[in-house]
Amino acid sequence: MRLFVSVDLDANDELRTAQVPFETLDGVRLVDPEQVHITLKFLGSVDPNRLGTVETTLAESIAAADVSSFNAHAREYGVFPSHDYISVIWVGIRNDGGRLRLLHEAIEERMIEIGFEPADHAFTPHATIARMDHAGGKAHVQKILSERGPDLGQFDVSEIHLTESTLTPDGPAYESVSAFEL
């Protein structure tokens, strides 16, 4: 099983609107709005026999973070890994009072304790809305990034999901394995 820990976002009109500037660009592939999420921790390939341990550890991590449900704000565009080489286009998550970072840190710490690799990059709260397959539309993406990003309004964070990712020819497909209320 290929797993990650996430916060799911509603596929609302604002999210679809955020994707509009990118929908006709060469080399850009939009993420299905139903699959947009915030990744708190990528676990990678997990033996199904370890699923119970992962779920228990995740529940303990969330309890240790001591975070209740909250609102966050989605706004501004960003890219990974850099403006010169773009592979991922995202919207940033702000005004959450640092709660997403607290959840990430608690989950990261506990998952490392049970043998998962630490993240190889700093945590940036974001939701991927598109991917670049090649640099054809790079100049247009850079122009969009230089303009003011979208304001997608507030959204409720009340659950954390353990999500399975299945790679398909059309891109990854996600399915929630377990949900944990805050």
Instruction: Give catalytic residue positions.
Output: 37, 126
| CA distance linking residue 23 with residue 55, whole number of Å | 37
Q: Output Rg (C-alpha) for the chain, integer angstroms.
A: 16
Amino acid at 153: G
Overall residue count recorded for the chain in this entry: 182
Report residue 72 CA to chain centroid gap: 14
| CA distance linking residue 89 with residue 28, whole number of Å | 9
| CA distance linking residue 130 with residue 118, whole number of Å | 25
Report residue 130 CA to chain centroid gap: 12
| Sheet with 28-30, edge to edge strand ranges | 28-30, 126-132, 86-94, 70-81, 151-157
